[in-house]
Structure 1
């Protein structure tokens, strides 16, 4: 085993000693760069899941910006030295041209591949100790939806429960500690006015990395208390929508509208702007982009782009 290279966040990472297959001789936390990632991807099983470009870009962005942290998720090789988990992380290392700490597990039982690929076997063990687990998991799914929309230039992406495997959602939770940080606030908002806690949590978490995170506390307070708001206050408009039960449908269309209106309300609050009205127009019959028409009942007109969190 090579000497410890350096420490980061209290962890000691090593440069791995490789066996005849070019993989570490034992499991551990290692520094992984472009050369190792390329070498290990050559041992990728053909049965591995289809590569998600969005997922690779998301990981690469975090790596390039220095936000990548060691988590329980690992690169895994089976007893024959085949890569059975971690292809997206390795591709992200190559894409970002960085050296990052990654946990590597060697000698895994090949029969565990099906569980690793879908993540179903991780549900209970990982979420039993997470506060507000269902809210956090749902919000992570919405953040993934928002990232897909951003990759599509703002065009609405799919937001069905089956769109993302559990392991993708769990990794998103790892990469977004703000989800657990703001989960209690999102729950309080739901109890106060009925605004979706998962949707609110996804927006608050993204807002904490936005241009005015200092405005989060006042936004949360307004949503909970319903006080100190005048006409045109975006928090008041969003709160009134929730109280009027305008966003309670479980349809794909209405979930999209709910997210769009919540982001619009937050963005206006963060910028100190007033709004005349709060709405997000989504018409799944339309094949057009932004058109100067309203989308009333039976309309095949406007469809807005998903706004980014300010």
Structure 2
């Protein structure tokens, strides 16, 4: 049925025992709805035998935020004993959905690819969560750069093969000679100098390994900026004794370049 914002508002009044709202997820769904990318599936809105909302609260909040009517499946009279089964199965990950499209061939898309893509756009300038269809479009555009970064920064050394490092390599793929970029990755991964200019890469490597894999966004942003700084100096044949992060993006993506 067509669920309007008014209907969504009425139904949310019966939302008395659902999980906490994820506002970022609501915003993503609303963006998909406004962009006309909402597709009807067997999943939708569900009420139990008492008329209480038991599934679909994020969809309803998204309809309210988008301010438009959306057609979706609505189920009534779900037995109370069946509630535990809702969302109890394994949900498809973003990378599963991408791979199932067949767009990326037999290699598909991995979690390393997805995390690299997100850091390419958000590590230096954190912003909104990207909705699935936007991530799909960007992955299609940048899959070759992302695969290069993932393949060349694949060491098991602590703190090196992380998304905020791979993201810099993926961005640089568009403007840096690939043999040079592979050499930079090799020195960073192995810790073995190949030229006299590699000392700064080793200094960067030591800092990355000392930090390890962190979820602290402030630290991730700082390390991302340092990788960009070191790569830029190294490409210019320069060395630095002190590593400072960049404050603006050094490696622009094709869609970011202004003619």
Q: Work out the CA distance in 1 between the residues paired with 2:35 and 2:129.
A: 24
Q: Cα–Cα, structure 1 residues 232 and 204, in superposed 2: closer, same or farther, change >3 Å?
A: closer
Q: Work out the CA distance in 2 between the residues paired with 1:193 and 1:239.
A: 9
Any residues of structure 2 matched to 1:244-283 within 5 Å, and which?
244-245=210-211, 248-280=213-245
1:105 matched residue in structure 2: none
> If the length of structure 2 is used for normalisation, what is the TM-score?
0.54
**1:218 has 2:179 as partner:** no
* Residue 233 of structure 1, aligned match among 199, 218, 233: 199
Any residues of structure 2 matched to 1:109-124 within 5 Å, and which?
110-111=71-72, 123=94, 124=96
Any residues of structure 2 matched to 1:1-310 within 5 Å, and which?
49-50=30-31, 84-85=36-37, 110-111=71-72, 123=94, 124-127=96-99, 130=107, 133-145=110-122, 157-158=125-126, 163-177=129-143, 178-188=145-155, 191-228=156-193, 230=196, 233-245=199-211, 248-280=213-245, 305-309=247-251
Shift of 1:219: 0.5
1:131, 1:180 within 8 Å by CA — same for their partners in 2?
no
Q: Cα–Cα, structure 1 residues 205 and 232, in superposed 2: closer, same or farther, change >3 Å?
A: closer
Q: Residues 149-204 of structure 1: CA distance to partner in whole angstroms, max 9, x if unpaired?
A: xxxxxxx5325xx622232222211110211233122222xx13531431222111
1:232, 1:276 within 8 Å by CA — same for their partners in 2?
no
Q: Residues 194-229 of structure 1: CA distance to partner in whole angstroms, max 9, x if unpaired?
A: 314312221111111114444112111211221126
Please tell me whether Structure 1 or Structure 2 has the larger radius of gyration of its CA atoms: 2
Higher RCO, Cα 8 Å, sep 6+: 2
Q: Work out the CA distance in 1 between the residues paired with 2:213 and 2:228.
A: 17
Shift of 1:122: 7.3
Q: Residues 91-117 of structure 1: CA distance to partner in whole angstroms, max 9, x if unpaired?
A: xxxxxxxxxxxxxxxxxx9439xxxxx
Aligned length: 168
Root-mean-square deviation (CA, aligned residues, Å) is 3.4
Q: Work out the CA distance in 2 between the residues paired with 1:166 and 1:211.
A: 29
Query: Which structure features the higher share of helix residues?
Result: 2
Q: Work out the CA distance in 2 between the residues paired with 1:215 and 1:167.
A: 33
> If the length of structure 1 is used for normalisation, what is the TM-score?
0.46
2:187, 2:198 within 8 Å by CA — same for their partners in 1?
no
Q: Is the deviation greater in 260-269 or in 229-238? A: 229-238
5+ unaligned residues in a row in structure 2: which ranges?
Answer: 1-28, 39-69, 74-90, 101-105, 253-259
Q: Work out the CA distance in 1 between the residues paired with 2:199 and 2:241.
A: 9
Q: Residues 6-64 of structure 1: CA distance to partner in whole angstroms, max 9, x if unpaired?
A: xxxxxxxxxxxxxxxxxxxxxxxxxxxxxxxxxxxxxxxxxx8459xxxxxxxxxxxxx
5+ unaligned residues in a row in structure 1: which ranges?
Answer: 1-47, 52-75, 77-81, 87-108, 113-119, 147-155, 281-303
